[in-house]
Each structure stands twice: as structure tokens, then as C-alpha cells.
């Protein structure tokens, strides 16, 4: 297994997103696609695995065609990878992850809602960073357990049950 490492915020992440988004837009054309930077690399000041996550939203009827275009464009597809509502793809260097989903669907909205909460709430962002660092130390070779252990925190944000400082309503 690969070692799970968190990196300090890197100013190159937004640039990688912009360059990759432009490439993805070309690959999707002429199908309209909304492209957003998600995940921890999309949150200024947050530690992250050095992988840029990109959300690509399309109409349901365009999903399969766009997935094929991205695969033809060199991205590796892993199907749903166990997450309903999206197709997961990545680049060969494992530095970009693509989450292809229905624009405006539940998966789309939840990813953006969590990103935006972290961007606007420094206390929640700091709490999440501390959790990520603790979990990375506990699960240095198991990204599935690391990701799974973050789920209760993420759900508490999405459900509106967490305010700053780790307290609950």
C-alpha cells in the first residue's frame, strides 16, 4: 500500500486545477460541463493529500459519453468505486482525481456544500485539519480507513449539526 501523506497547502494546487479544468472542458466539448475544484486542495490554508479533486457535472444523458471521452483522453476509470452517483477517474500520476456526476444532483451539491463551509469557517477548517492529521497518523497505510473515519465529521457538517469549536446543536 502507498503511504498516506498530508502536505502543507501548496499554491500550485489552484493552478493544477485551472490547467486540468481547461483540458477537461476540451475533452467534454461539445457537451456542456460544469467543473469545480473540490476536496482539501480547494480550501486555502488546509492540509491535504497532494491530489487535486475535480468535480465534473453533466446532464444524466451525457454521463456515459463524457466518461468515455475522459477515458479516451487518458484518464483511468474506476466506475463508481463504491460511491453511488458518480464515476471516479484519475490521471496516471495519481495527482488528479475526477468525480463525474450529475450537475445539480445530490453528489454535486454535497461536495460543494462541504468545500464552501470549510472555506468560510476558519474554526471548522482548523478542526477538520486536526482530525485529518490525527487520522493520517493512525492510518498511515490505509486510505480507505482514513477516509471512512472522516465521514462522521463530514456528515455532521452536511447535516448542520456542527457549529464552530466542535460543539453540536
Q: Supply the pLDDT for residue 94.
A: 85
Full set of structural domains in the chain with CATH: 12-166 (3.30.460.10)
Phi and psi dihedrals of 166, rounded to 5?
A: 80, 5
Length of the chain: 169
Which of these, 98, 108, 101, 52, lies nearest to 73 by C-alpha position? 98
For residues 168 and 27, the model is more confident at 27
85: left (phi over 0), alpha (psi -120 to 50) or beta: left
Gap between the Cα atoms of 157 and 151, Å rounded: 10
Kindly report, residue by residue over 10-21, the tens digit of the pLDDT: 999 999 999 999
Residue found by looking up cell 477538520 in the block: 128
Q: Residue 36 above 60 pLDDT? A: yes
Q: Which three cell numbers stand for residue 7?
A: 502536505
Gap between the Cα atoms of 23 and 18, Å rounded: 9
Rounded to an integer, the average pLDDT of 18-46 is 97
HSE-up (13 A, CA, CB side) for residue 15: 4
Which of these, 129, 125, 149, lies nearest to 139 by C-alpha position? 149
First to last CA, the chain: 39
Gap between the Cα atoms of 41 and 20, Å rounded: 14
Rounded to an integer, the average pLDDT of 126-134 is 97
Amino acid at each position: 500500500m502507498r503511504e498516506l501523506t498530508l502536505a502543507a497547502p501548496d499554491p500550485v494546487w489552484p493552478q493544477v486545477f485551472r490547467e486540468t479544468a481547461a483540458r477537461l472542458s476540451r475533452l467534454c466539448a461539445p457537451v456542456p460541463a460544469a467543473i469545480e475544484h473540490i476536496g482539501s486542495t480547494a480550501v486555502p490554508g488546509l492540509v491535504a493529500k497532494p491530489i487535486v479533486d475535480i468535480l465534473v457535472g453533466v446532464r444524466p444523458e451525457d454521463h456515459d459519453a463524457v466518461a468515455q471521452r475522459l477515458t479516451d483522453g487518458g484518464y483511468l476509470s474506476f466506475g463508481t468505486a463504491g460511491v453511488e452517483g458518480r464515476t471516479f477517474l484519475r490521471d496516471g500520476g495519481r495527482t488528479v482525481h475526477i468525480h463525474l456526476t450529475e450537475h445539480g444532483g445530490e453528489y454535486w451539491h454535497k461536495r460543494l456544500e462541504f468545500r464552501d463551509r470549510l472555506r468560510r469557517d476558519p474554526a471548522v477548517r482548523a478542526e477538520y485539519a486536526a482530525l485529518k492529521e490525527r487520522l493520517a497518523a493512525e492510518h498511515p497505510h490505509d486510505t480507505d480507513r482514513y477516509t471512512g473515519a472522516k465521514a462522521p465529521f463530514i456528515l455532521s457538517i452536511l447535516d448542520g449539526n456542527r457549529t464552530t469549536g466542535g460543539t453540536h446543536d
